[in-house]
Amino acid sequence: MVRSKRVLASLLLAVSAVTIARGGHELPVYPSYYPHEIEIATLGSQQAAERLLAGKLHAYVGGSLPLASAPADKVTSVESLGAFMIVRLNPESPLARDEASACAGTAAVIRDLAANGGAVIHPYPVTPFHGDYLNHAERAEAARQRLLRADATALPGKLALRAQSALARSLVPPGRLAEGLRWDAALEEVSAAGLVADATVVLNGWQGPRWVKSGWFHAYRLLAGSIADPARRQEVEATVERLQAADLEGAVARANLERHLVQLIASDCRTVVAGYTVKREQLNVEFSAGVENIGFDSLQGLASPMFLRTVKLKDFPWNGWLQLGLEARPASAWNPIGGFTDEFGRLMWFAVGDAAAVPSPYDSTWMLNRISDVEASPKR
């Protein structure tokens, strides 16, 4: 008994003499490269460019920076769908009186935009950036050929174009910008990222709906509101309901129904998609102050869960401090029910919401976040 007490006392003395050791958070297996701290700052383009070149900013989300001469080993860019360019005829214009003159008028406007440059002429609402574009590729080419063959000889001289956004005004040929109340057609800019964001719900680890990145859904949101014929509008709504109900027999039936819907929506020449622009967002890829392993979304670019789930800082083997810049200041409420609706709020919620599934980067399907079922090949 005495010996046991002496052993116990010796053990207590040894333990009390040991220096306290504090363990780090490193794991033998890293589940992701997710940064443990993300800073989102409001920055003007010039300020962001200076910070990016100085290694104090990793990416500028949502906008392009004046860095055309930056070395490739220091700054790189990713491309995604920028904006749809829509041509909408004035209902009071003589061009809108019948389908033939409407088609000739919008074709003339689009050809003028092509001559001026600055946008990709693509007179079809589903673009190569959409994951389901292959289901529409030959119809997109047929629409381009119809544009080239359209007769513009009967048009009453040069058309006056109305444009509100800076991008739209830059695409209008010189001397064609409408002044005053008289205008034949309006050139409108619709942000592709905004179109996706406005239709997306992120709540309780869930993000959807599942068709939010589909080309047919974007065509519906872009053009369905301009359909004047009640019968055609009713058919469009019924077709959308069928696609959203997911009660179709197989992928072929679904693809055919999506093609039929887009044909219904895009058959009126009074409001048409003229083309799209390409968005380029810059990142710091310098060694070792930059980032790597970069994933992004074909429609949303860097303002997407895919970017935050894949980006890895070169300075750190697992975590680190990610510094992002945004042009717009925070403006929405900060709550998951009615808030997080501006650019800052959505990006922040992508960081903290940690949805179970996120949109595939270049497709209209979904993928699991971090975890997937991997089958050994060959099977064991």
Q: Of the segments 140-154, 224-238, 360-374, which one has the largest average pLDDT value?
A: 224-238
CA angle 99, 242, 250 (to 5 degrees): 110
Distances (CA, A) of 301 to 125, 193, 345: 19, 8, 16
pLDDT over 80 (residue 369)? no
CA distance 318 to 314: 9
pLDDT value, residue 36: 80
Question: Does 61 map to a domain?
Answer: yes
Question: Does 323 map to a domain?
Answer: yes
For the segment 178-185, the average pLDDT, to the nearest whole number, is: 85
Question: Does 232 map to a domain?
Answer: no
Residue with tokens 């010796």: 10
- The DSSP H or E segment spanning 188 is strand 185-191
Helix-helix angle 250-265:137-149, to 10 degrees: 20
Question: Does 251 map to a domain?
Answer: no
pLDDT value, residue 174: 83
Question: Does 145 map to a domain?
Answer: no
**Three-state DSSP class for residue 41:** strand
For the segment 74-79, the average pLDDT, to the nearest whole number, is: 92
pLDDT value, residue 376: 60
| One-letter amino acid for residue 289 of the chain | A
Q: What is the pTM of this model?
A: 0.82
Positions of E strands within 217-329:
271-284, 291-292, 312-313, 321-326
pLDDT over 80 (residue 135)? yes
CA distance 269 to 101: 9
For the segment 122-134, the average pLDDT, to the nearest whole number, is: 94
For the segment 45-72, the average pLDDT, to the nearest whole number, is: 88
Total structural domains within the chain: 1
pLDDT tens-digit map of 213-266 = 899 999 999 999 889 889 999 999 999 999 998 777 888 999 999 999 999 999
pLDDT over 70 (residue 24)? no
Question: Does 271 map to a domain?
Answer: no
- pLDDT bracket for residue 372 (50, 70, 90): low
**290-317: string of b/e by CB count within 10 Å (b at 16+)?**
bbeebbbbbbbbbbbbbbbbbbbbbeee
CA distance 172 to 162: 9
pLDDT tens-digit map of 259-308 = 999 999 998 889 999 999 999 999 999 988 899 888 899 999 999 888 98
Question: Does 229 map to a domain?
Answer: no
- Phi and psi (nearest 5°) for 229? -75, 120
pLDDT tens-digit map of 183-205 = 999 999 999 988 888 887 766 66
Question: Does 362 map to a domain?
Answer: yes
Q: Picking from 3-17, 99-113, 147-161, which range would have the lowest pLDDT averaged per residue?
A: 3-17
Structure tokens, 82: 């920028």
Distances (CA, A) of 36 to 246, 247, 308, 316, 368: 39, 42, 11, 11, 21
| One-letter amino acid for residue 270 of the chain | R
- pLDDT bracket for residue 206 (50, 70, 90): low
pLDDT value, residue 40: 92
pLDDT value, residue 236: 95
Q: Which of 293, 294, 274, 87 is nearest to 186 (CA)?
A: 87
- pLDDT bracket for residue 20 (50, 70, 90): very low
Domain span at residue 313 reads 37-80+281-368
pLDDT value, residue 378: 62
pLDDT value, residue 12: 38
**Three-state DSSP class for residue 279:** strand
Q: State the virtual CA torsion across 169, 117, 84, 274 in degrees, nearest 10.
A: 100
**153-170: string of b/e by CB count within 10 Å (b at 16+)?**
eebeeebbbbbeeebbee
- Phi and psi (nearest 5°) for 187? -105, 120
- pLDDT bracket for residue 17 (50, 70, 90): very low
Q: pLDDT > 70: what percent of the chain?
A: 84
- pLDDT bracket for residue 52 (50, 70, 90): very high
